[in-house]
Amino acid sequence: MQKFALLHERLHGLGLFHNNPPHPPSHFADSQVDTMDYIAMAHDAAYIEAFRQDDFTVQARRKLGLPWSPGLMQRTFTAVRGTMLTADLALEFGLAGHLAGGTHHAHHAEARGFCIFNDLAVTARYALSRPDVERVLILDCDVHQGDGTARILSNDPNALTVSVHCRANYPFDKAESDYDIEVEKGCSSKEYLRLLDAYWPLLLDRHQPDLVLYDAGADVHREDALGLLELDDAAIFKRDTHVIEACLDRRIPIACVIGGGYMKNLKRLAEVHGIVHQAAFRLFQQYFE
Ligand SMILES: [Zn+2]
């Protein structure tokens, strides 16, 4: 998918990459351990194998909605690994951002809605396996509900799922997250931010997580082909700033992933996906430099 390369280009153009990136972090998922073993913390072993071998049934292929290719396989594993790395970087430096991630429709043994492995659920389980993490909170602000994440983590008391999504949008068989905040089709920037600001600080204070995973979906944008909401660039910048700031004010590390975005104009889409990185970069300078 071209949007990832365009996002990378966009962030370079904005000068958002550190000259000396703090990379790799001192604690990173043991590189000797196969990424597959981490993915198996949240997915069925036979399902993982079926994907690797391009052995999905016709029905499973239809639910995924993407053609299999070696490139798709490589991108899928790389993106999950990237979310894990982002979580490690956040735990070390306070704040980190991934240029992919947010495949929140993937279920335990089923691909859905362009999502094969659920990087958020995998990373939550991975982070919880670290001795310094007792509770992870996932805030999913993609316009679609994080149904796969909610179902995979439904019995994990230490992995809390919060989904802010459009009620009228996919998926139509909604899951039950720990918190579902539903907005109506056509929701304005003002109303969206009012809801977020009403709930987000309270949720952080109530649950005091050791790590937040934030899905900053770009498909809430008014120009998005699948979104149904009315947020503009400025509102997304405010959303991302408010989400991250509330964590940093409480010294809670936050790892950001980009989530969904379906504008036809990919250059424009890369700009909107890059908003979370701009917000994060500014706050990183403000809080840590
Ligand atoms: Zn989405």
- Domain membership flag for residue 25: no
In eight-state DSSP terms, residue 182 is E
Could you tell me the residue range of the domain that residue 137 belongs to? 2-17+31-288
Which sequence positions are flagged as catalytic? 105
User: In which band, very low, low, confident or very high, does the pLDDT at 65 lie, cut at 50, 70 and 90?
Assistant: confident
Q: Distances in Å between the alpha carbon of 144 and those of 87, 132, 187, 232?
A: 22, 31, 14, 17
- Domain membership flag for residue 154: yes
Beta-carbon neighbours within 5 Å of ion ligand 1:
142, 144, 217, 219, 260
- Domain membership flag for residue 22: no
- Domain membership flag for residue 24: no
- Domain membership flag for residue 184: yes
What's the mean per-residue pLDDT of the chain?
93
Pairwise CA distance, residues 142 & 204, whole Å: 19
* Distance in Å, CA 30 to ligand 1 centroid: 31
Residue 118, phi-psi category: left (phi > 0), alpha (psi -120 to 50), beta (remainder): beta
Pairwise CA distance, residues 59 & 110, whole Å: 10
Task: Provide the CATH number for the domain around residue 124.
Answer: 3.40.800.20
Nearest to 138 by CA among 228, 217, 251, 229: 217
Residues 6+ apart with CB under 8 A from 42: 108, 117, 118, 121, 122, 124, 125, 152
* Distance in Å, CA 46 to ligand 1 centroid: 27
Per residue in 213-234, pLDDT (tens digit) is 999 999 999 999 999 999 999 9
- Domain membership flag for residue 151: yes
- Domain membership flag for residue 149: yes
* Distance in Å, CA 226 to ligand 1 centroid: 8
Average pLDDT over residues 47-60: 90
* Distance in Å, CA 7 to ligand 1 centroid: 17
- Domain membership flag for residue 185: yes
Per residue in 237-246, pLDDT (tens digit) is 999 999 999 9
Q: How many structural domains does the chain have? A: 1
Pairwise CA distance, residues 198 & 13, whole Å: 35
